[in-house]
Structure 1
Amino acid sequence: MTNKQKQSSQQKVNSNTHTTTLSWPLISTKFNLQIETIYQDHIVIIPSFFTSQECTNMVKFINKTVPLESANPSLIPKKGEAYRDNDRFSIEDIKFSEILYNSGLNSLVSNWSSTLTKKPAVGLNPNIRIYKYSTGQKFGQHYDDSVQDSLGRISEWTLLIYLNGGNNENDIFLYGGETVFYKKKEEIVIRPERGMALLHKHGHDCLLHEAKEVKRGFKYVLRSDLMFA
């Protein structure tokens, strides 16, 4: 299956996780967020999870402050890994994960429960990842595995927050970089929109998916996981 293996890069990212403190840009609490279901019990989006200004501030912060780990285009994936050549950074930050969760996500998922354990959603993985894709970069077909965070909680959903993209993008141009899910012969295409959050089921119920190549411009993404306990 080459690039269609269960992706094991979670362990690789965790081994390079930073523990230094970052002074993140402010994220406001929203009271009017809404979930839109893309594929029942598997994929949902939250438009305007970040405001346009929050996205601008976050991208400037990433470019100025975050020591992204450079991509290695010549990297050949090991067995069980998918090809990826985007720049990235990982940090353990419990406080910021709580800020993200309590900014409006908590009220949307408060009644969600684990498929396996029936335990409720309780927060986000403090392992925060930052992805920057330049023109020509991508993340091949893979599955996201369920993980246990530093607090002993178990994940079942991936959270992606797109910091740029969409027809109204006026700061950082992006063409391409879609997140594509594969359900038998059907393709479910999620195009990055500035400030939009994407939640998709992972672990046992994860759909094969990939981040398509960025054709022009840059793509910025924040990543965490929804945890249950």
Structure 2
Amino acid sequence: MAKKGKKQQQEYSGGAPPIVPAKRITWPKLRRRRELTPRLIRGCDVFTVPGALSAEECEQFIGQAEAVGFQWQGSGGPAKGEAYRDNHRISVEDNDLAAHLWTRLAPVLHPLQAGNRTAVRLNPNIRIYRYSPGQQFGAHIDESVAVAGGGRTEYTLLAYLSGAPSTWEGEEEAEGVEGEGEEGGEGEGERGGEGGEREGEGAPGEGVREADGGEGQWRREKEVAGGRGKGGGGKNQQQQQQQQLVGGETVFYVGARSQESFEVSPEVGMALLHRHGARCLLHEAREVKTGVKYVLRSDVVFK
């Protein structure tokens, strides 16, 4: 890890990958899904939602992202006080996609509370990450950010687009698209939050349990973008995509100095949600051994 951090520091250029105009991308139309049920891992602080996306939708997200083109993202590494990071990503501001994803997940997310605030929508800053063999994201903590139009993010939303076959056993409606004929979420049409302000709010509200370790135990590692890094694409990338994903688990560490940890393995279409900001557990994305890991990222906004 130390050697990688040093190399990463040398490659780091400080430039963030540009935001892709939403009009350039044709996302899949999300059909309504029934019986989405959360699986609690650490109370309401960390839980999964199998079947949040269908396998077909995941393939379409991957195809559109690859068509746009990923850019490498790194960090200054531990020597700069940042988590080691090596992956590729695209970023897009898309209120419509955020609203459709929210409509899909609202039955699960809306009951969540943080203090006296309730989950109201998703951050329209949508990111898709790609991890090829050898790439990973070291131990870090996600920061809470203020979002334009009011509200603040309190949960990270990760939707795995690749991984093991889905274990979801619900039903997909034959007709109907998420968000059609419905009003968008609160704050629709406004840009999502940027930056990385530190969350310092008081005790969590009903259904949200404070993570072990408390505030200030770990440095909050910003997701700092890097310059040029490992390449991707072409026949080599296609061959990697066809391989079964091995590695890439999301690992959470409990407590400031505890060795206790638990992990979540990527599953196609499964969403992973976890608290971030002051109540975030230290976590990392393990190195991908074979295959390619794709993840869609947004944040849950509370108001």
Shorter-chain TM-score bucket reads: 0.7 to 0.9
Percent identity between the two aligned chains: 41
1:13-24 correspondence to structure 2 within 5 Å: 16-21=18-23, 22-24=25-27
Q: Report how far residue 211 of structure 1 moved.
A: 0.2
Q: Helix, strand or coil for the counterpart of 2:106?
A: helix
Kindly provide the amino acid, as one letter, of the partner of residue 109 in structure 1.
Answer: L
Match of 2:46 in 1: 43
Between the two proteins, the alignment pairs up a number of residues equal to 214
Distance (whole Å) between structure 2 residues aligned to residue 144 and residue 128 of structure 1: 15
Distance (whole Å) between structure 2 residues aligned to residue 172 and residue 82 of structure 1: 28
1:3-152 correspondence to structure 2 within 5 Å: 16-21=18-23, 22-64=25-67, 66-71=68-73, 76-77=76-77, 79-103=80-104, 105-115=105-115, 118-152=116-150
Match of 1:226 in 2: 300
Deviations 1:102-129 (A, max 9, x none): 01x10112221123xx111101000001
Distance (whole Å) between structure 1 residues aligned to residue 151 and residue 166 of structure 2: 38
Kindly provide the amino acid, as one letter, of the partner of residue 100 in structure 1.
Answer: L
Deviations 1:31-56 (A, max 9, x none): 21000000113100000111111112
Kindly provide the amino acid, as one letter, of the partner of residue 135 in structure 1.
Answer: P
Flag the 1:168–1:43 CA change in 2: closer, same or farther, 3 A.
Answer: closer
Q: Is the 8 A contact 1:182 1:208 kept in 2?
A: yes
Distance (whole Å) between structure 2 residues aligned to residue 192 and residue 128 of structure 1: 19
Match of 1:6 in 2: none
Larger Rg: 2
Report the RMSD for the aligned CA atoms in angstroms: 2.4
Q: Is the 8 A contact 1:92 1:128 kept in 2?
A: yes
Q: Helix, strand or coil for the counterpart of 1:150?
A: coil
Match of 1:178 in 2: 249
Deviations 1:151-210 (A, max 9, x none): 332010000000010157996521000000000221111000011000000000000000
Q: Which runs of 5+ in 2 are unaligned?
A: 6-13, 168-240
Distance (whole Å) between structure 1 residues aligned to residue 98 and residue 73 of structure 2: 25
Q: Is the 8 A contact 1:126 1:149 kept in 2?
A: no
Q: Helix, strand or coil for the counterpart of 2:266?
A: coil
Q: Helix, strand or coil for the counterpart of 1:120?
A: strand
Q: TM-score, normalised by structure 2?
A: 0.66
Flag the 1:107–1:179 CA change in 2: closer, same or farther, 3 A.
Answer: same
Distance (whole Å) between structure 2 residues aligned to residue 83 and residue 143 of structure 1: 12
Flag the 1:17–1:122 CA change in 2: closer, same or farther, 3 A.
Answer: same
Correspondence for 1:213 among 277, 284, 287: 287
Match of 2:266 in 1: 192
Distance (whole Å) between structure 2 residues aligned to residue 194 and residue 163 of structure 1: 5
Q: Is the 8 A contact 2:65 2:90 kept in 1?
A: no
Q: Report how far residue 150 of structure 1 moved.
A: 2.8
Q: TM-score, normalised by structure 1?
A: 0.86
Q: Which runs of 5+ in 1 are unaligned?
A: 4-10
